[in-house]
Amino acid sequence: MAATAVDSTRIIGLTGGIASGKTTVSSMLRELGAYVVDADVWARRVVEPGSDGLAEIVSAFGGDILMPDGTLNRSRLATIIFHDASLRDVLNRITHPRVRAGMLAETAAYASQRPGQPVIWDVPLLFEGETHRLVGATILVYVPLHVQKERLMVRNQLTEAEALARMAAQMPLDDKRALATYVIDNSQSLEFTREQVQRIWQMVGGQKEFRGDRAKQ
């Protein structure tokens, strides 16, 4: 899929870290009327059966990486790359350019219908790769290290060592905080988070406001 030219100044990259609450903030932005382009959705699309992305992954990692029905065995692949940074880089070189091209195409299609409107790019590894170069501003969903660790342990039923290992596979949130345009502190109540989301959405050009638990239509 070829990359498509879009106005990057209207693209706002949303990111966070594992168990920081990015999905919660993304849902709040959708409630406010934001159009969200989800990198995880495109990460699945570019490795669908019959895609050149899946074919390249099989070439790099072997046929054992497939399920009996020909789909990608994500859990097996995750186990392989989690403990080997070089193999993780191999996978990223295959998938990331395809994901970016898909997100650009989706954004261009939306912009053709709603010119000038902001678009949110939900990207877990925004700062770790090249995608941050394609956005005009960035929002980081932040929690302190101890909160991130505790939430991850509870959510995924992990030991402390297991949680720390998964966190170590990503750029630390404090490092991302230094790079972000806007920071949302998600360590307190949902209402506190919601207030920050509302304020930032209005700053980047959104018009709708929360009314109770629902956005104005």
pLDDT at site 214: 34
Q: CA dihedral in degrees (33, 35, 40, 46; nearest 10)?
A: 150
Stretch 5-19: mean pLDDT: 91
Residues forming a β-bridge with 12: 120, 137
Residue 2 maps to a domain: no
pLDDT at site 22: 97
* Total domains in the fold of the chain: 1
Residue 166 maps to a domain: yes
DSSP assignment of 149-168 equals HHHHHHHHT--HHHHHHHHH
CATH of the domain at 100: 3.40.50.300
Q: DSSP H helical segments within the chain, as ranges? A: 22-31, 39-45, 52-61, 74-82, 85-113, 145-156, 160-168, 173-179, 190-203
pLDDT in tens, 59-112: 999 999 999 999 999 989 988 887 788 999 999 999 999 999 999 999 999 999
| Contact indicator for 128, 26 with CB cutoff of 8 Å | no
Stretch 50-54: mean pLDDT: 97
At 4, is the pLDDT very low, low, confident or very high (cuts 50, 70, 90)? low
Which residues span the domain enclosing 87? 8-215
SS3 of 110, please? helix
Residue 1 clears pLDDT 60, i.e. is over it: no
pLDDT at site 98: 96
Residue 79 maps to a domain: yes
* pTM beyond 0.85, yes or no: yes
Residue for token digits 């899929």? Answer: 1
Residue 114 maps to a domain: yes
Residue 3 maps to a domain: no
Residue 1 maps to a domain: no
